[in-house]
Amino acid sequence: MDTTALVAAIDQVNTELQQVLSSFTTEQLNTIPFQGSWTAAQVAEHIQKSVSADILYGNVEKRAPEADKLEGLRKVFLDYTIKMQSPDFIVPSDKFHTKEELLTDLNDRWLKIRKATETLELDYTCVDFEIPGIGFLTRYELIGFFVVHTTRHIHQLKNIRAHF
CATH number at residue 88: 1.20.120.450
- pLDDT of 39 > 90? The answer is yes
> Rounded to the nearest 5°, which phi and psi values hold at 73?
-65, -40
Residues 136/127, Cβ–Cβ less than 8 Å: yes
For 103-151, what is each residue's pLDDT tens digit? 999 999 999 999 999 999 999 999 999 888 888 999 999 999 999 999 9
Whether residue 1 is predicted with pLDDT greater than 90 in this model: the reply is: no
Q: For position 34, what pLDDT does the model report? A: 93
- Boundaries of domain holding 96: 3-161
Per DSSP, the three-state class of 86 is coil
pLDDT at 99: 97
Q: How far apart are CA 150 and CA 110, in angstroms?
A: 11
Does residue 69 surpass a pLDDT of 90? Answer: no
* The pLDDT of residue 66 is above 90: no
pTM of the model: 0.93
Give percent of the chain with pLDDT exceeding 90. 77
- Interval 1-28 mean pLDDT: 96
Instruction: Count each helix (H run) and each strand (E run) in the chain, helices first.
Output: 6, 2
Confidence band for 85, pLDDT divided at 50, 70 and 90: confident
Query: With 0-12 CB in 10 A as exposed, 13-18 as middle and 19+ as buried, what is 103?
Result: middle
- The whole-number pLDDT of residue 62 equals 94
CA 84 vs. chain centroid, Å, equals 14
Number of domains in the chain: 1
